[in-house]
């Protein structure tokens, strides 16, 4: 069962429990998550969080195993709380999951979520609250299960439409591997358009530090770019490139966030191509339409790069953008922005970028709307 779909099963068992006593005790005294779980959840999900037998619960819906950390850790607390407070419709799940905002206080909802997360006893799984919005160019530190298509439209004398498909898959507690496949469409002399495959890349990223209390997560990784594109047609760089990098993501007050990303692009076996250093930063803030509605995340990136050769200047760009969730489940996102050169603008023109992101671990592309 996918992560958010199983959340509905978790809290649907409240429907079988008497709501009135919960509402009464919420005003009298705040109960702990353990007490609320034993009173309303344990009969179906078991005292250990692994789920009771179907013969015991009397229905065929598979029950999640809350001791499975790959299920219990990726989502933010807000996703769990939204379903308890507003019911299954809050994330486009079955309406069999009722809303309990009137039966449980916000503090009790928090206590339940915190207690259920505690069934994951394995250390080393970063919490989903550290999974901050993804910028267009800056790498974030959280390991993900996503598919992303990014398109760049450049105008000027040489018009081009470059698209890149990135598939990311989480590996264990702290790792992530990915593959990036670019495809270019370029206008050439005479107004004709040329198309072709670019340089394919594979990468691995690993979390080296995370702290929910500090709101910080740090990762390091490396990427190898293979010369699969035809250099003579402008579709590739003509060399294998090794790219070590590091990235930091930081939660800021009031739903703000910051990403820092830097590294080197090192051509292998090609003396005439110099190594290039790059550094990127993205800062933004998330607003929600309604308490648990559509998420809007405006952000701006500052992008810098410099070839490590004598006399080479650094290139600077600004990239303002807006990310918005499209699906009710918030697993399909759109981000669009404009990359604006700050210097050397005679040779570099502005370009329009956008991506469509699908968090495939949370459900099908056409589900959750």
Q: How far apart are CA 207 and CA 61, in angstroms?
A: 35
- Percent of the chain residues topping a pLDDT of 90: 54
Question: Which two structure tokens, joined as six digits, stand for 294?
Answer: 């559509």
3-117 has CATH 1.10.760 classification: yes
The per-residue pLDDT for range 292-331, each reduced to its tens digit, is 678 999 999 999 999 998 889 999 999 999 999 999 888 9
CB 167 within 8 A of CB 117: no
- For CATH 2.40.160.40, the residue range(s) in the chain are 128-362
Question: Which two structure tokens, joined as six digits, stand for 42?
Answer: 């344990």
Question: Which two structure tokens, joined as six digits, stand for 288?
Answer: 């929600």
CATH topology for 128-362? Porin (2.40.160)
Largest interatomic CA distance in the chain: 79
H or E segment at 228?
none
Per-residue pLDDT for 97 more than 70?
A: no
Torsion angles phi and psi, residue 275, rounded to 5: -70, 145
In a 3-state reduction of DSSP, which class is residue 100?
A: coil
> How many other CB atoms are there within 10 angstroms of residue 296's CB atom?
16
The per-residue pLDDT for range 180-201, each reduced to its tens digit, is 999 999 888 777 888 999 999 9
CB 69 within 8 A of CB 122: yes
Strands 175-187 and 146-154, by their bridges, are: unpaired
CB 220 within 8 A of CB 231: no
**Confidence bin at 83 (pLDDT 50/70/90):** confident
The per-residue pLDDT for range 23-65, each reduced to its tens digit, is 444 444 478 988 987 877 777 777 898 877 877 777 777 777 8
Per-residue pLDDT for 337 more than 90?
A: yes
- For CATH 1.10.760, the residue range(s) in the chain are 3-117
DSSP letter, residue 76: -
Number of residues in the chain? 369
Dihedral sign for Cα atoms in the order 223, 227, 229, 235: positive
- The pTM for the full model equals 0.87
Per-residue pLDDT for 69 more than 80?
A: yes
């Amino acid at each position: 069962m996918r992560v958010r779909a199983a959340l509905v099963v978790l809290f649907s068992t409240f429907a079988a429990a008497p709501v009135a006593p919960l509402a009464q005790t919420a005003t009298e005294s705040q109960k702990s998550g353990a007490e609320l779980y034993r009173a309303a959840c344990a009969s179906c999900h078991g005292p250990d969080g692994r789920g009771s037998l179907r013969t015991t619960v009397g229905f065929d819906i598979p029950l999640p195993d809350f001791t499975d950390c790959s299920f219990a850790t990726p989502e933010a607390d807000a996703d769990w709380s939204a379903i308890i407070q507003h019911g299954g419709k809050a994330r486009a799940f079955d309406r069999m999951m009722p809303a309990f905002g009137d039966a449980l206080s916000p503090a009790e909802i928090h206590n339940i979520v915190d207690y259920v997360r505690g069934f994951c006893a394995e250390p080393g799984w970063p919490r989903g609250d550290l999974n901050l919005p993804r910028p267009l160019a800056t790498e974030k530190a959280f390991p993900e299960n996503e598919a992303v298509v990014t398109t760049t439209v450049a105008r000027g004398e040489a018009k081009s439409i470059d698209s890149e498909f990135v598939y990311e898959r989480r590996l264990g507690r702290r790792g992530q591997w990915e593959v990036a496949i670019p495809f270019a469409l370029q206008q050439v002399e005479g107004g004709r358009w040329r198309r072709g495959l670019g340089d394919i890349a594979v990468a691995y990223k690993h979390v080296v530090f995370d702290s929910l209390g500090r709101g910080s997560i740090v990762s390091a990784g490396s990427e190898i770019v293979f010369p699969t594109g035809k250099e003579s047609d402008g579709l590739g760089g003509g060399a294998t490139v090794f790219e070590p990098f590091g990235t930091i993501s930081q939660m800021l007050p009031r739903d703000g966030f910051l990403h820092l990303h830097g590294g080197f692009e090192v051509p292998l076996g090609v003396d005439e191509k110099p190594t290039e250093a790059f550094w990127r930063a993205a800062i933004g803030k998330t607003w929600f339409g309604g308490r648990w509605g559509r998420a809007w995340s405006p952000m701006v990136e500052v992008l810098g790069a410099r070839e490590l050769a004598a006399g080479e200047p650094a290139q600077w760009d600004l990239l303002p953008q807006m990310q918005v969730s499209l699906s009710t489940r918030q697993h399909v996102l759109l981000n669009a922005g404009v990359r604006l050169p700050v210097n050397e603008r005679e040779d570099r023109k502005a370009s329009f970028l956008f991506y469509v992101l699908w968090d495939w671990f949370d459900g099908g592309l056409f589900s959750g709307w």
